[in-house]
Structure 1
Amino acid sequence: MEKHLLFDFDGTLVDSLGIGLKAMNIVGRRKGYPRVNSEDLDDLLRKPIRERFRHYGVPMVKLPALALEFYREYKQCLQELRFFEGIPDMLHRLHEAGCRLTVVSSNDPEIIKNYMAHHNISLFHKIIGSNRIFGKDKIIRRYMRQEKLVPEQLIYVGDELRDIEACKRAGIPIIWVSYGFDHEELVKTAGPEFVAHSPAEVVSIINGLEHPLLK
């Protein structure tokens, strides 16, 4: 049975917290929202994402339009974007083991494609993006329909509470990575099936799973 691994991008493959904060504050200043300071991040990452926006007075209905502006600014900072240590090795090891790798992200797919091309990584079956903060479960279900898969054939790798919630709705397991954005205090009650503290641990979990994905 073919193995399909779905990856989040920001906070899972790349450490984009710094450039995300920079882009967020540029857009926020333009729109009149309060500045987000780096010293506020630890507290913010312990809150669900809706609470974060509510804290800064950002209406959820405006998020799609704000996301478009955010990623325009994000693109200007791509030279500062870095893989987390060990990510390229993880991707190559999983690809060589026969896993089919796909990115499912809220980021602009062109940003992700260009970043991967710049780093000479062409290991992905598909790169799927959306400017919606929520709704990854719909993207995952669409992917399963297009690829003619059942939930037991997929595992998602992500770093946020909303990733876990989307996987629960889609009926697929998730490996939550602790080195990303959301704090463990926030996600522990959501019940991710697996927890990895490094990219190497993601590989170890995949290799050791008693899961139909690996049969």
Structure 2
Amino acid sequence: MDSIIFDVDGTLWDCTDTVAQAWNDMFEKEPDINIRLTGDDLKKLFGKLLEEIGAILFSDCPPERRRELLEKCYIAEDAALRDHPPLPYEGLEDVLKILSERCPLYIVSNCQAGYIERFLDATGFGHYFSGHLCPGDTGEAKAANISAIIRQNSLHSAVYVGDTLGDFEAAHQAGVPFVYASYGFGQVPAPDYTIDSISDLPALFRE
């Protein structure tokens, strides 16, 4: 292993309660939208591409209105995460410190542009990571962005750490082993590796 690529939501932190409240506050200002979400609702949506989330939440709206609503969601979300950032998973900084001394670390997430930066700003963990990509930056889905990180940085033995079946499928499409964060949001029946806490990761990949 010469590098580790991480998902964010359900892998490095859980912001779903904060985001659900921000989106609900925005929905109240939209007379044609009668939706109220919980953090658990968002756990089922996070990790999907933004267009998929819009199609699920706003199925009765035309595509242009879906895009408008998603943009308003993400503006409200960004403000909430800036003003009331959730805590990262316990022990994460210790893990990142250990692992970043062994190999470069990266982030690839199916999110809007600016979200990964918001996570890094909120936690102060930006110095542990060597780069990141998302569909909002590239227009590509997770598998392509994992491959891009590998190609751009001349990596040969990367692994991907995530928490959903979509993460597992993207990792395998990109040709890298998958580490399943079982404490996260999803279920993965046959991962390559499993961790029950982020603190398990350094022992899984020793020097």
Q: TM-score per shorter chain, which class?
A: 0.7 to 0.9
Q: Could you tell me which of 161, 169, 172 is aligned with 2:173? A: 169
1:144 aligns with 2:150: yes
**Retained in 1: the 8 A contact 2:134–2:140?**
no
Change (3 A) 1:173 1:13: same
Q: Which runs of 5+ in 1 are unaligned?
A: 208-213
Render the CA deviation track for 1:137-171: whole Å, top value 9, x for unaligned. 01111222212334xx1101111221111112111
Identity across aligned pairs (percent)?
A: 26
In terms of mean alpha carbon deviation, does 155-164 or 114-123 score higher?
114-123
Report the residue type matching 1:149 in the other structure. Answer: L
Residue 36 of structure 2 aligns with which residue? 35
Q: Could you tell me which of 94, 113, 134 is aligned with 2:99? A: 94
Report the residue type matching 1:74 in the other structure. Answer: E
Report the residue type matching 1:174 in the other structure. Answer: F
* Structure 2 length-normalised TM: 0.76
SS class of match (1:14): coil
Residue 90 of structure 2 aligns with which residue? 85
Q: Could you tell me which of 65, 69, 81 is aligned with 2:72? A: 69
Report the residue type matching 1:196 in the other structure. Answer: I
SS class of match (2:160): strand
Relative to its length, the structure with more strand (as a share) is: 1
* Residues matched between the structures, number: 196
Separation in 2, partners of 1:111, 1:44: 16
Cα deviation for residue 94 of structure 1 reads 0.6
* Structure 1 length-normalised TM: 0.74
Change (3 A) 1:102 1:67: farther
**Retained in 2: the 8 A contact 1:9–1:105?**
yes
Change (3 A) 1:43 1:22: closer
SS class of match (2:130): strand
Residue 104 of structure 1 aligns with which residue? 108
Change (3 A) 1:115 1:24: same
Residue 203 of structure 2 aligns with which residue? 204
Give the root-mean-square deviation of aligned CA atoms: 3.4
Cα deviation for residue 181 of structure 1 reads 1.8
Cα deviation for residue 193 of structure 1 reads 0.9
Relative to its length, the structure with more helix (as a share) is: 1
Change (3 A) 1:142 1:44: closer
Separation in 2, partners of 1:176, 1:6: 12
**Retained in 1: the 8 A contact 2:17–2:38?**
no
**Retained in 2: the 8 A contact 1:176–1:195?**
yes
Cα deviation for residue 136 of structure 1 reads 0.2
Cα deviation for residue 178 of structure 1 reads 1.6
Report the residue type matching 1:103 in the other structure. Answer: I
Q: Which runs of 5+ in 2 are unaligned?
A: none
Change (3 A) 1:24 1:114: closer
SS class of match (1:82): coil
Residue 180 of structure 1 aligns with which residue? 184
Residue 210 of structure 1 aligns with which residue? none
